Amino acid sequence: MTVWTSTDIAAATGGTASAPFETVGVAFDSREVGPGDLFVAMKGEATDGHHFLTQAFAQGAAGAIVSEPTDHPHVRVRDSFDALQDLGRAARARSEAAIIGVTGSVGKTSAKEALFAALDRGWRGRVHRSVKSYNNHTGVPLSLARMPQGMRAGVFEMGMNHAGELAALTRIVRPHIAIVTAIAPAHTAFFSGEEAIADAKGEIFQGLEPGGVAIVPHDSPHRDRLIVAAQPHAARIVTFGFDKGADVRAIESMRAATGGSFVTARVGERELSFTLSQPGAHWVSNALAVLAAVDAAGGDLGQAGLALAELGGLAGRGARFIAPLADGQTALVIDESYNANPASMRATLAVLAHEPGRHVAVLGEMRELGDASDDYHAALAEPILAARVEMALLVGEAMAPLGRALEGRVDFVHVADARAAQAVLADRLAPGDAVLVKGSNGVGLSRVVAALRGGT
C-alpha cells in the first residue's frame, strides 16, 4: 500500500522532488529502512542521517527526504526535521480515522498496544499505531507519517519529561479521544511534585478535536485535577477504575487459572465479562481504559474482550518466558526491563508475589527522580517483603538506600551494573525460580534478559 508519493511529499513539505517515486513506509533510522520505504535524513547532535543514505538505499529505500544534495531519488527540503513534522501533519489532515492519543506516567505503551489489538480485532488491517515507544517530538510525527489513508483508527502514544511537551505533541496528533492511564512519580527531577506531573499529562486534552472525549483514571488522587484540565477541551469526560463512581469500572476481578485475570466490567449501562491474559491490578486498570476508548471510538466491545484474552506480553513490559538452566531445568522470567518508576515497581512486585517457586527480583535503579531518589528507592523495601522475595539483586549506585533498608531482612546482592548482575545471577539462579527483571532502561537490564533467554 502506497503511503506517500514524491508529489505528495513535496506538497506536504514545500520541497522539490528529484524524480517520481512511491513509498510504503517511513523511517529516520537507517537500520530500520525496508524495501519501498522513505528515509528521512535528519541531522542530530551525534550523527547526520545524510551519512547513511547509501545504506538506506542498499536496504531498499525508494526515496529520501534530504537537506543536502544526493544522487538518490529524493525530495530536497530546507530542514529534514521540519519536513518530518510537516509530513506528520499532512498525514493527520488527510485521515478520516478515529484518532486516539495515549499518555500517562505508567502503562501508556501497554495500553496503546492493548487498544490497538482490541480495535484491530474488529477492524482487521485498518488500525494504525505508533510502534515501540516512539512518543516524543520525532517519534510522534514519524508515527503519524507512517499512517496509510483508509484507516478506521489510529492509536498514538505521547510521552514527556518536561512541561509543555505534551501540549505541542497533542496539537500535531489532534486526537478525537485522549487517555491518561495513570499519574505516578516519574521524571520527578524535572517537576515540583505529582500535581505538576498531572498538569503536564493533562496537556494532552488541549489538542482534542471538537466533540472529543477525555478518558481519566477515576481512582487517581489527581482525577479532579485532570477533569479540570479536560473540561475546556472535551465534549465528554469518561472515568475508568475500580470505584463505583467510575463510568467504566471493574465490578469483579479475580485471578484466573491461566495467571491473568477474569474481569467483569460495566461500560455505561452494559456489562462485559472477559479474561485478561496479563496479570496484575495495573493491567485490569489498563483494560478498563481500553474498553472506554473502544466504546468512544464506536468499536466492538465483545471483540475487544477477545483481544484482551489473546494479548501477549510485550518485550521489556511483562513478557514471560521459560529460561533454560543446567541439566534441563528451567526458571520463569518476567521481563519488565524497559522502564521503572516507584508505581510500576510496586505493581510488578505484586505480580511476582503470586508466582510459585522462589521469588528472585533483579531490580535496576530508577532514574530521573531528583532529590527524592533515595527515599523512593528505600521505600521499595516494603513491596519487596510483601512479594516474599527471597533473593534481591540490586543494580546501580542509586539502589544503595534500598540495600540499607533490606539489611538483615532479605538476602540481597548490590552490584554496579547489568554486566555484574548477569554474572551474579548465573551463579545464584536455581530451578523453579520466578525471576522479575525490572529497572530504568538506561541501566541495561535487557542484557540480563537476553542472557537468560539464551541460557548463558
What pLDDT is stored for residue 45 in this prediction? 82
Q: Is 108 annotated as a binding residue?
A: yes
Q: For the residues 373-401, what does the mean pLDDT come to?
A: 97
- How would residue 208 be classed by pLDDT, with cut points 50, 70 and 90? very high
- Left (φ > 0), alpha (ψ -120 to 50) or beta: where does 444 sit? left
- Write the pLDDT tens digit of every residue in 303-327: 999 999 999 888 888 899 999 998 8
- Write the pLDDT tens digit of every residue in 405-448: 999 999 999 999 999 999 999 999 999 999 999 999 999 999 99
Element (H, E) at 404: helix 400-406
Share of the chain above pLDDT 70, in %: 99
For residue 455, pLDDT beyond 60: no
DSSP state of 445: T
Q: Is 109 annotated as a binding residue?
A: yes
For residue 186, pLDDT beyond 80: no
Cell readout for 228 is 479540570
Distances (CA, A) of 201 to 104, 168, 332: 6, 12, 35
Q: Which CATH superfamily is domain 95-310 in?
A: Mur-like, catalytic domain (3.40.1190.10)
- How would residue 46 be classed by pLDDT, with cut points 50, 70 and 90? confident
Beta bridge partners of 238: 215
Fold of 319-454: Protein-Tyrosine Phosphatase; Chain A (3.90.190)
- How would residue 68 be classed by pLDDT, with cut points 50, 70 and 90? very high
What residue ranges do the domains of the chain occupy?
Answer: 4-79, 95-310, 319-454
For residue 393, pLDDT beyond 90: yes
For residue 187, pLDDT beyond 80: no
Class at the top of the CATH hierarchy for domain 4-79? alpha beta
Q: Within its chain, how far is the Cα of 267 from the centroid?
A: 24
How far is it, in rounded angstroms, from Cα 430 to Cα 326? 9
- How would residue 162 be classed by pLDDT, with cut points 50, 70 and 90? confident
Q: For the residues 352-378, what does the mean pLDDT come to?
A: 95
- How would residue 348 be classed by pLDDT, with cut points 50, 70 and 90? very high
What pLDDT is stored for residue 314 in this prediction? 81
**Beta carbons of 360 and 353 less than 8 angstroms apart:** no
Q: For the residues 264-279, what does the mean pLDDT come to?
A: 94
- How would residue 267 be classed by pLDDT, with cut points 50, 70 and 90? very high
What pLDDT is stored for residue 274 in this prediction? 95
Q: Is 107 annotated as a binding residue?
A: yes
Q: Which residues of 289-318 are buried (b: 16+ CB within 10 A; e: fewer)?
A: bbbbbbbbbebbbebbbbbbeebebbebbb
What pLDDT is stored for residue 188 in this prediction? 63
* Helical segments of 95-206, H only: 108-122, 139-145, 165-173, 194-201
Lowest mean pLDDT among 82-96, 130-144, 197-211: 130-144
How far is it, in rounded angstroms, from Cα 402 to Cα 389? 14
- Write the pLDDT tens digit of every residue in 225-243: 999 999 999 999 999 999 9
Q: Rounded to the nearest 5°, which phi and psi values hold at 405?
A: -70, -25
Q: For the residues 287-294, what does the mean pLDDT come to?
A: 98
The C-alpha cell 483508509 sits at 150
Question: What is the residue-averaged pLDDT of the chain?
Answer: 94
Task: Please state the pTM of the whole predicted model.
Answer: 0.87
Q: Is 106 annotated as a binding residue?
A: yes
What pLDDT is stored for residue 272 in this prediction? 96
**Beta carbons of 351 and 279 less than 8 angstroms apart:** yes
